[in-house]
């Protein structure tokens, strides 16, 4: 600067001084601001920064599995792909003028890829949220189309879409036990049946996980999560046997189709433990396809429907009379030749009788005999006995919607005519489950057990969280009384008893039929054409292994419990015993496992049972392997070409038990028309549509 003009050099020094001053002031401002941000307000700004770069995710664990008693899965969770979008990332850097056109284009392309309406997609994208579901549970083709849209090598790629695995409930056996299992909504919450009642146990523990976002908003985890097995939902092991459940549902559905019933239910119980082996309800539904199911089909009728039990209640009236020493097994009861008046009500018997023993009262189902026993016991003691057998109270099964039934109307005592009516099952209401547990109490020497549906619950690590052993609620009657009633019930399935169709070949069978008239809600009176047919019983009578209650509501072809419900009991009981390896003395268990290994165990067992039920054996009495036709044999009517209804009526009028296979008109029958068969024999009808 020595060579410069002094005035110019002085001016340069002034400018440099001014510049240094300004730089000093700026540096001071920066230092002051930095001090304020990092020191004075450091915690506040640090928290804001963490919020901007971190996300808190609630990780939903895998829902627990529901198994049957043998470890066969009935409800499982599988991972299926779903598509979400980060709309902020998709339209990053797009100005407001171009945004509408970009929204329209992206909506059209995404809508075509996912097969959804473009307007629906546009509405979601226009909200500009960091996370939005575009479509849940997509197909493999839709996944491929979304990946193609996001491929940077493609023209105008769309960023911000993510394909994420999402849990979906899957029921591998489709409609099997559907009303009992319930279903799960798309958000993973149980909405009916066991899925609802045990939702807290099955869904597991929702864990909060922290993650970091990069500049593009993509998420990666900064902290590890716990062991997934520790977070997973609990597994539930039921007492239900898939094989027995399958048989019960198949036979119930066949009986409903044969007799044109409105609905039905079956409960199969192990009377020694109270464990439910089958809980069947028809009509049923497929929990995998809940959108197409009928609301009425979701009802678990075995626990939600209450009905007048009719003559099945006579079992417990008899137990009350024996316990109160009102009668004895050898004492005769005068049954008034079929008609008895109480107050202004006349009681009738289907079988007109004079003197009957208590065993005969049950065998031919005398209303008058039961009414006299009930009146002899007295209103209070009869009511208390019914209560001790579990009627009028819930069993507290872990299922929603269970009814308690009704004993006394509005809690007041019965008058004399009501006591008589209650003795043979009118004026009170019960559920199928209550009947099954009550007859189980007779089978296990008077002990009323707590019904067990859930055997145990385990966590994701296999540790047992809860276990339900056999539990006695109370003693309903003494062992001696229960034993006497058991022996009386054998007479119902033998000789002239009303339940001979329930007798299981090779075993002594104890049971009771019922044909209960239904009340017309409009008039409050009993109808002449609407009935509830039922049968309860257990087998073998001397060492019971299964107790079964069968209920069919409003059968149309015929309505007698001995014709409609008793055969269902026999087939379910026979199959259940064979499935459990229980055979008559001198025989060996059937090799179920050797049949069709490609089929599931339930289908194996059922198909084997059907294959061993030879139609030609049905035309002979069960206790005669090769006896020639007797003088009581009848010629089987030829019903070929007839529709199902006409064929059923024709065979029932002859005293045969028709069994339908298929739909439409009869194309074949076994035994053939004109063959000789004993009354009560089964006639197989094979139908085809369009014939």
Which one of the listed residues 84, 263, 281, 311 is annotated catalytic? Answer: 311
For residue 554, give both structure tokens: 């409003």
For residue 299, give both structure tokens: 């009802």
For residue 625, give both structure tokens: 């392997």
Q: What are the φ and ψ backbone dihedral angles of 188, each rounded to 5 degrees?
A: 90, 10
β-pair type (339-342, 345-348): antiparallel
Contact of 599 with 607, CB cutoff 8 Å = yes
DSSP state of 344: T
Residue 41, C-beta contacts closer than 8 angstroms, at least 6 positions apart: none
3-state secondary structure of 196: helix
Which residues of 351-394 form beta strands (DSSP E)? 355-356
The span from the CA of 468 to the CA of 465, in Å, is 11
The span from the CA of 23 to the CA of 277, in Å, is 88
**Catalytic residue flag (residue 77):** no
232 CA to centre of own chain: 23
Contact of 381 with 360, CB cutoff 8 Å = no
For residue 359, give both structure tokens: 């065993």
β-pair type (207-213, 54-59): antiparallel
The span from the CA of 483 to the CA of 477, in Å, is 10
Contact of 548 with 502, CB cutoff 8 Å = no
231 CA to centre of own chain: 27
DSSP state of 472: E
Q: Tokens 């009517």, residue?
A: 637
- The end-to-end CA distance of the chain, in Å, is 120
Burial 471-502 (b: 16+ CB within 10 A, else e): eebeebbeeebbebbbebbbbbbeeebbbbbb
For residue 666, give both structure tokens: 């009869």
Dump the DSSP string for 47-108: HHHHHHHEEEEEEPPPPPPEE-TTS-EEEEEEEEEEEEE-HHHHTTT--TTTHHHHHHHHHH
Catalytic residues: 311
């Amino acid at each position: 600067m020595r060579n410069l003009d002094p005035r110019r050099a002085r001016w340069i020094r002034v400018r440099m001084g001014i510049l240094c001053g300004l730089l000093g002031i700026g540096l001071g401002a920066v230092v002051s601001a930095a001090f304020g941000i990092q020191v004075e307000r450091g915690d506040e700004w640090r928290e804001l920064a963490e919020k901007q770069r971190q996300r808190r995710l609630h990780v939903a664990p895998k829902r627990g599995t529901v198994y049957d008693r043998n470890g066969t899965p009935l409800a499982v969770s599988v991972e299926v792909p779903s598509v979400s979008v980060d709309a902020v990332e998709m339209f990053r850097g797009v100005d407001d003028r171009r945004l509408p056109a970009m929204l329209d284009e992206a909506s059209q392309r995404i809508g075509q890829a996912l097969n959804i309406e473009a307007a629906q997609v546009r509405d979601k994208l226009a909200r500009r949220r960091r996370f939005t579901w575009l479509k849940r549970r997509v197909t493999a083709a839709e996944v491929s189309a979304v990946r193609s849209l996001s491929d940077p090598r493609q023209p105008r790629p769309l960023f911000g879409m993510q394909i994420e695995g999402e849990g979906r409930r899957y029921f591998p056996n489709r409609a099997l036990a559907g009303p009992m299992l319930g279903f799960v909504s798309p958000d993973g919450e149980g909405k009916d049946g066991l899925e609802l009642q045990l939702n807290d146990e099955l869904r597991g523990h929702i864990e909060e996980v922290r993650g970091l976002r990069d500049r593009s908003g993509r998420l990666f985890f900064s902290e590890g999560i716990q062991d997934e097995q520790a977070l997973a939902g609990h597994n539930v092991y039921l007492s239900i046997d898939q094989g027995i459940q399958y048989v019960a549902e198949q036979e119930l559905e066949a009986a409903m189709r044969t007799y044109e019933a409105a609905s039905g239910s079956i409960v199969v119980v192990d009377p020694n433990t109270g464990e439910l082996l089958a809980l069947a309800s028809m009509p049923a539904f497929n929990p995998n396809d809940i959108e197409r199911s009928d609301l009425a089909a979701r009802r678990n009728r075995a626990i939600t429907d209450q009905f007048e039990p009719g003559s099945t209640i006579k079992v417990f009236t008899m137990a009350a009379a024996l316990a109160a020493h009102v009668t004895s097994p050898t004492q005769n009861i005068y049954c008034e030749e079929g008609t008895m008046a109480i107050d202004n009500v006349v009681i009738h018997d289907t079988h007109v009788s004079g003197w009957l023993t208590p065993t005969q009262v049950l065998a031919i189902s005398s209303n008058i005999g039961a009414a006299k026993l009930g009146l002899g016991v007295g209103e209070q003691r009869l009511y208390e006995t019914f209560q001790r057998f579990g009627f009028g109270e819930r069993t507290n099964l872990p299922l929603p919607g269970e009814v308690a039934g009704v004993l006394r109307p509005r809690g007041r005592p019965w008058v004399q005519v009501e006591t008589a009516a209650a003795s043979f099952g009118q004026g009170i209401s019960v559920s199928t489950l209550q009947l099954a547990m009550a007859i189980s109490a007779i089978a296990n020497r008077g002990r009323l057990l707590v019904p067990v549906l859930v055997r145990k619950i385990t966590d994701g690590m296999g540790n047992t969280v809860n276990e339900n052993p056999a539990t006695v609620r109370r003693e309903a009657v003494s062992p001696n009384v229960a034993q006497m009633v058991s022996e009386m019930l054998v007479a119902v399935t033998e000789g002239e008893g009303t339940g001979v169709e329930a007798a299981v070949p090779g075993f002594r069978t104890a049971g009771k039929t019922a044909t209960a008239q239904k009340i017309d809600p409009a008039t409050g009176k009993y109808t002449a054409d609407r009935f509830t047919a039922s049968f309860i019983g257990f087998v073998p009578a001397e060492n019971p292994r299964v107790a079964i209650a069968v209920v069919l509501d409003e059968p149309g072809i015929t309505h007698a419990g001995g014709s409609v419900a008793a055969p269902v009991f026999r087939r379910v009981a026979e199959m259940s015993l064979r499935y459990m390896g229980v055979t008559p003395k001198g025989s060996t268990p059937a090799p179920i496992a050797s049949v069709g290994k490609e089929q599931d165990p339930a289908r194996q067992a059922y198909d084997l049972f059907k294959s061993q039920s030879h139609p030609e054996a049905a035309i002979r009495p069960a206790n005669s392997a090769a006896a020639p036709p007797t003088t009581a044999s009848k010629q089987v009517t030829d019903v070929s070409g007839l529709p199902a209804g006409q064929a059923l009526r024709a065979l029932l009028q002859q005293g045969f038990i028709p069994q339908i296979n298929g739909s439409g008109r009869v194309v074949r029958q076994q035994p053939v028309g004109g063959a000789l068969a004993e009354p009560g024999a089964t006639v197989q009808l094979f139908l085809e549509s369009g014939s």
